[in-house]
Structure 1
Amino acid sequence: AGRFSFNELQLRLHPAASRVQKLAAAHPATFIVFDLLESDAGKSLLKVPLRERRMALEKFASKNLKSAAAIRLSPATTSLAQAKKWFDKAGGNLDGIIAKRLDAVYASGERTAVVKVKNIRTADCVVGGFRYASGSKLIGSLLLGLYDDAGFLHHVGFTSAFKTTDKRALTKKFEALRKPPGFTGNAPGGPSRWSTERSGKWEPVDPKVVVEVTYDHFTGDRFRHGTRIVRWRKDKAPRQCTLDQVAHREGRAIALL
């Protein structure tokens, strides 16, 4: 409770009502409202501009949202200076901030009047393994790891953002480094909530190579999305690549609400 966790939120996804009640008790969540599509009187606000919908939402929140434990109003501002402060305080477990046109009506499934401004950060990671591209003998992705305080190397994500022309050289390089176990802590390919089977065969390598990557979101002890390579860090020792680089700042982020 009191922190952001995409992985724990996923645990709440279940079709059975009895199971939903149990999960709600085990993993309580806070619902954050950011728009109002129908008034108290039942009038549709879909064709009303965001400026007016936000005013209606704030009135609704003032009248009905008495406790912040279960439901909260998403913060909003028209001040660029304030938005920049929020951006800096968002922490490593939030993507960034959302910018919306105040004169836009609600458009389901469209982002023509919405821009996500991501807070792109960098981290130095150790390559602990790789996966071949599907149906190929060339590398499809590199598996990234970070060390904890006890010296265990944990799998935290992947990068597949390299040129097709580079794959042959990368394959030759990392095939020569193949050596188990690769990761000594959390390893890739374990069961997930989507599958109880171990999936995604991967090849462990001697953790000697360090790579700097960019990422936008770190949650549940891993990068939520794929990362992009910035450069190879021949100047950095693998053991210097620790989880401290991506330490969560939930306290600062949750305080924005």
Structure 2
Amino acid sequence: MLIRSRAGGDLTGAFPEIVAAAADLPDDTALDGELVVWENDQLAFERLQQRRHRRAGAAAQTAAQWPAHFVAFDLLRLGTDWTGQPYRERRRVLEELFTGQRLQPPWTLCPATTDPQQAAEWLQWSSVGMEGLVFKRLDQNYVPGWRGWRKYRSRHSTEAAIGAVTGTLATPTTALLGRFDATGQLQYVGRTTVLNAAARQSLARELQPGRPGHPWTGWTFSAGWGAQQVLQVRLVEPVIVAEVAVDVSLDASGRWRHPVRFMRVRTDLVPSEIPLFGEER
């Protein structure tokens, strides 16, 4: 049994429950899929990140605390190489594998459909943290290292307050966003993608340097999930509201997992009028 990440890293030791479940698979089987962890009826990506570096006893402990599931997307091998076969054939054999072996959790077969109405219904599953849909051609073979399918992310617009920026106040590069919680504390919810020239100019006209006692004083912010790099940020007064385009990927704390896209400054809103931290929107 071998579990590899998209980048080729060996994750076998981090997920002993998946290794144990491999006894249910025929010899010489290779599947393409994704490991997921559920917490409070939502996908908990940060728990998965925490688990991937655990080994031995620590891996067994976290497997009991945050068990993983393997969601199978595609079939690569089943006794012979299936990558040269069209997707419709690979999918047929993958479904037969699940029914013939009577596979149960942690094995999960990713649903698939050719019905547009069914696909549209799945896009409503945003409350569990599902990012969107992947579209594959039925006649397409599987080419390792190359993605010939398209991913559609569910997105919507919402608002957050700007609490800090990277770059300078005159030429901000990205904006760090926050929302107030029920106690009135400003909580970090995510960061924008790199701002374009127009967005930088509009923000530069509005940003004010953070005063002493800023709620994020002494905080550190990383460049992304699993990144060791610490961002150099400049605190600003959290009085500017930004409208942003976000996908539905949230961690267990309610933060946006992916960078969001800045749309505009909402001069008609104040931070007390935007959703509270942790609210679904």
SS of the counterpart of 1:30? strand
Name the structure 1 match of 2:211.
Answer: 179
Name the structure 2 match of 1:119.
Answer: 154
> Which deviations, in whole Å up to 9, do the C-alpha atoms of 1:87-115 show, x marking residues without a partner?
12233722211111011011122122x11
Query: Which AA in structure 2 matches 1:179?
Result: R
Given the superposition, is the C-alpha separation of residues 244 and 179 from structure 1 closer, same or farther in structure 2, using an over 3 Å criterion? Answer: closer
Q: Does 1:234 align with 2:257?
A: no
Q: Does 1:23 align with 2:54?
A: no
Q: Does 1:47 align with 2:84?
A: yes
TM-score (norm 2): 0.75
Kept in 2, the 8 Å contact 1:180–1:206? The answer is no
Given the superposition, is the C-alpha separation of residues 154 and 186 from structure 1 closer, same or farther in structure 2, using an over 3 Å criterion? Answer: farther
Name the structure 1 match of 2:246.
Answer: 215
**2: CA distance, partners of 1:76 / 1:84:** 12
TM-score (norm 1): 0.81
Q: Does 1:98 align with 2:134?
A: yes
Q: Does 1:87 align with 2:123?
A: yes
SS of the counterpart of 1:36? strand
Kept in 2, the 8 Å contact 1:139–1:167? The answer is yes
Q: Which structure 1 residue ranges, 5 or more long, are not aligned?
A: 249-257
Name the structure 1 match of 2:72.
Answer: 33
> Which deviations, in whole Å up to 9, do the C-alpha atoms of 1:107-153 show, x marking residues without a partner?
122122x11011111111001111227xx973221110112222221
> Which deviations, in whole Å up to 9, do the C-alpha atoms of 1:70-93 show, x marking residues without a partner?
121111111111001111223372
The alpha-carbon deviation at position 65 of structure 1 amounts to 4.0
SS of the counterpart of 2:95? helix
Name the structure 1 match of 2:42.
Answer: 3
Name the structure 1 match of 2:175.
Answer: 142
Same amino acid, percent of matched pairs: 28
Kept in 2, the 8 Å contact 1:154–1:185? The answer is no
Q: Which structure 2 residue ranges, 5 or more long, are not aligned?
A: 1-38
1:206 to 237, 251, 254: 237
Kept in 2, the 8 Å contact 1:65–1:72? The answer is no
Which is further off, 212-221 or 121-130?
Answer: 212-221
Aligned alpha-carbon RMSD (Å): 2.9
Higher relative contact order (CA 8 A, sep 6+): 1
**2: CA distance, partners of 1:100 / 1:246:** 34
Kept in 2, the 8 Å contact 1:95–1:217? The answer is yes
Matched length = 239
